[in-house]
Structure 1
Amino acid sequence: MSLPCLRRRNPALTIRLVDSHCHLDFPDFAEELDAIVERARAAGLCRMVTISTRIRRFDRLQKIVDAYPDVYCSVGTHPHNAHEELDVSIEEIIEISKGEKVVAIGEAGLDYFYDKAPREAQATGLRTHIAAARETGLPLVIHSRDADDDMIAILEDEMGKGAFPALLHCFSSGHRLAEAGVAMGLYVSFSGILTFKRSEELRDIAAAVPADRLLVETDAPYLAPLPHRGRRNEPSYVVNTARVLGEARGVDFATIAAQTTENFFRLFSKVPRPEAA
């Protein structure tokens, strides 16, 4: 179901943005989800993607996307939980991904900062999700933290078996992973971390990523951007991250909003575009 762009509802609103990664099924939002979605719409968001972290709890996501026409979801297992869902097959992921509002695979990846799951399990889970993304053509949402070398190695190995669409979500790694990802055809998504005072290197990386590979996200309820840092994050705050991304690249807000939104619809091709204003 397509919704009119917010510009049609409010002619004074000239932006259109997307939160490509949030977690609306988390308990942090349970008491006021309607209000959170409405605030996002009022801020100019016309699409939100709530990201799966446990396939065995996918029913929670299904209820949310059924309730909000402009909210879509992914299917996947977060690396923190990789060891708990190693029994999930490629075929099961593919079957769930056939749902009308399931538009991506993941998030899956490697997290060596917290190391909540054995690294071997994380790698196995990542490769399973890659296979599902390759088979379905849906973008793989990649989580990578403190694992640049192993992530590059796995992605290069898997790309050699056949290309698949993907993005490096909530990017906080170094230049090498960004450059390797772009070289393999991946997109790079930036969160509120980009706005933090000590994120100069990250802003330099964001300035160097090709304009047609950039996305923005919140990863809400985590990582609220300035000036909201330290509070619960929510999709409407993606506006703050987009502004800083534009500043880092030397372009105005309207330009970065248009670029990141167009990139989103190109990558998340299963998501219907809003009606033209």
Structure 2
Amino acid sequence: MLFDTHVHLNAEQFEEDRAEVIKRAQEEGVEYMVVVGFDEKTIRGALEIAEENKKIYAAVGWHPVDAIEMTDQHLHWLEELASHPKVVALGEMGLDYHWDKSPKDIQKDVFRKQIRLAKKVNLPIIIHNREASQDIVDILKEEEAGKVGGIMHCFSGSVEIAKACLEMNFHISFGGPVTFKNAKKPKEVAVEVPLDRLLIETDCPYLSPHPYRGKRNEPAYVSLVAQQIADLKGMSLEQLAKQTTENAKKLFNIL
């Protein structure tokens, strides 16, 4: 039983065969998924998929790359959606210094607003971090984000950054990159993260694990991420799957 904590089944890459992709995942033992929406269109898509599938849930938030487009009305909408029975987290949110579409000060402001909203509605948060680790950690500390906790999604930072996030009540989630042969850092971090704070994901259709690197990713492949981490931890795939599923269900308050 596997739980893919971060999928984008709402992406256009799945428009032609979404039902088949979901079926393949279920056949591979992926029982639960969270579809992540990060702007108006993808949020609506995430909710639609979650409403149609019993064990698929939704996360709603505003992506840092598009921070410049978020309005107060959008924030109010996110607050309304927080009470939806299938919404289990706010996000993805955070900082992205790779692309320069949204100025850093606007990204930070939008990030802070969403953390404050998460504390108000008492939902965990899903963090997107690209080339902004220290600023992310600083803002999480300043905003006392540990009160709701959440996920460092597709973690690519150092052991030190991971430990700082763990201290603030966050889970560390690994995706396809942990399976790459040259991925020394994610493997080191995966070894260090305590079992009860570990999560797995695909971030599909992006970041396909080995041996599918460069091809469209899909939730069925989360078993490859789980197997890699199980090998690193010296445990069975079944043990790793059981633990990470329990962790996700507890974090997302799924009974």
TM (norm. structure 1) is: 0.88
Unaligned runs of 5+ residues in structure 2 are: none
Following superposition, the deviation at residue 174 of structure 1 comes to 1.4
Match of 1:237, as an amino acid? Y
2:187 equivalent in structure 1: 203
The SS at the match of 1:130 is helix
**Kept in 1: contact 2:202–2:218 (CA 8 A):** yes
The structure 2 residue matched to 1:75, chosen from 34, 52, 60, is 60
Match of 1:193, as an amino acid? P
Following superposition, the deviation at residue 61 of structure 1 comes to 2.0
Give the Cα–Cα distance (whole angstroms) in 1 for the partners of residues 243 and 212 of structure 2: 24
Following superposition, the deviation at residue 57 of structure 1 comes to 4.7
Map residues 58-69 of structure 1 onto 2, 5 A cutoff.
58-69=43-54
Deviations 1:209-240 (A, max 9, x none): 11110000000000000111111000010000
**Kept in 1: contact 2:60–2:78 (CA 8 A):** yes
- Higher mean alpha-carbon deviation, 250-259 vs 207-216, is at 250-259
2:135 equivalent in structure 1: 150
Cα RMSD after superposing both structures: 1.5
1:139 paired to 2:124: yes
Give the Cα–Cα distance (whole angstroms) in 1 for the partners of residues 40 and 127 of structure 2: 15
The SS at the match of 2:247 is helix
The structure 2 residue matched to 1:261, chosen from 227, 241, 245, is 245
Unaligned runs of 5+ residues in structure 1 are: 1-15, 273-277
Match of 1:66, as an amino acid? E
1:193 paired to 2:177: yes
1:100 equivalent in structure 2: 85
Give the Cα–Cα distance (whole angstroms) in 2 for the partners of residues 166 and 180 of structure 1: 13
The SS at the match of 1:226 is coil
Change (3 A) 1:268 1:213: same
1:45 paired to 2:1: no
Change (3 A) 1:226 1:57: closer
Following superposition, the deviation at residue 64 of structure 1 comes to 1.5
1:12 equivalent in structure 2: none
The structure 1 residue matched to 2:107, chosen from 112, 119, 122, is 122
The SS at the match of 1:51 is strand
**Kept in 2: contact 1:134–1:165 (CA 8 A):** no
Give the Cα–Cα distance (whole angstroms) in 2 for the partners of residues 221 and 57 of structure 1: 14
Give the Cα–Cα distance (whole angstroms) in 1 for the partners of residues 105 and 5 of structure 2: 28
The SS at the match of 2:37 is coil
Following superposition, the deviation at residue 89 of structure 1 comes to 5.6
Following superposition, the deviation at residue 159 of structure 1 comes to 1.1
Following superposition, the deviation at residue 91 of structure 1 comes to 3.8
